[in-house]
């Protein structure tokens, strides 16, 4: 599957549903982004069941702000609407493939339980501080 350009308008539809989605936050002027692009494209061709999106941080500044993007390239991995990974840096192909396999292997019921637990802990901390 080729990569898809993501915008504020299509982001939730392309990334928020079931399955795995990878998002590459990049900019035209970014040298490491240009070096990572062919790696990202090759891996997308090997994984047609995964959505591979690209966010141009210059054109889509609102998305960059929402995801607190401070340096590029930054890779975001989402599975079943849950963000699993967000790190800056251009990955080698083998490392990217390894991250994808780790995302595939996760027990999402366990992940959702941990997310709910962390949210509950944060709520109790917020109430205690109020």
Catalytic positions, written as ranges: 30, 33
List the one residue out of 112, 104, 58 whose CA is nearest residue 81. Answer: 112
**CA distance readout (Å), 61 to 3, 8, 21, 109:** 19, 9, 20, 33
DSSP, res 29: T
Reduced to 3 states (helix: H, G, I; strand: E, B; else coil), residue 101 is: helix
The CB density around residue 61, as the number of other CB atoms within 10 Å, is 13
């Amino acid at each position: 599957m080729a990569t898809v350009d993501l915008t504020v308008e299509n982001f939730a539809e392309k990334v928020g549903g079931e399955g795995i989605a990878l998002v590459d936050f990049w900019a035209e002027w970014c040298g490491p982004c240009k070096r990572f692009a062919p790696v990202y494209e090759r891996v997308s061709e090997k994984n047609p069941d995964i959505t591979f999106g690209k966010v141009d941080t210059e054109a889509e500044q609102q998305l960059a702000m929402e995801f607190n993007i401070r340096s590029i390239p930054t890779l975001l991995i989402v599975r079943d609407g849950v963000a699993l990974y967000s790190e800056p840096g251009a990955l080698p192909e083998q490392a990217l493939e390894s991250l994808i396999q780790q995302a595939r292997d996760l027990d999402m019921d366990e992940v959702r339980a941990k997310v709910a637990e962390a949210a509950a802990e944060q709520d109790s901390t917020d109430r205690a501080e109020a």
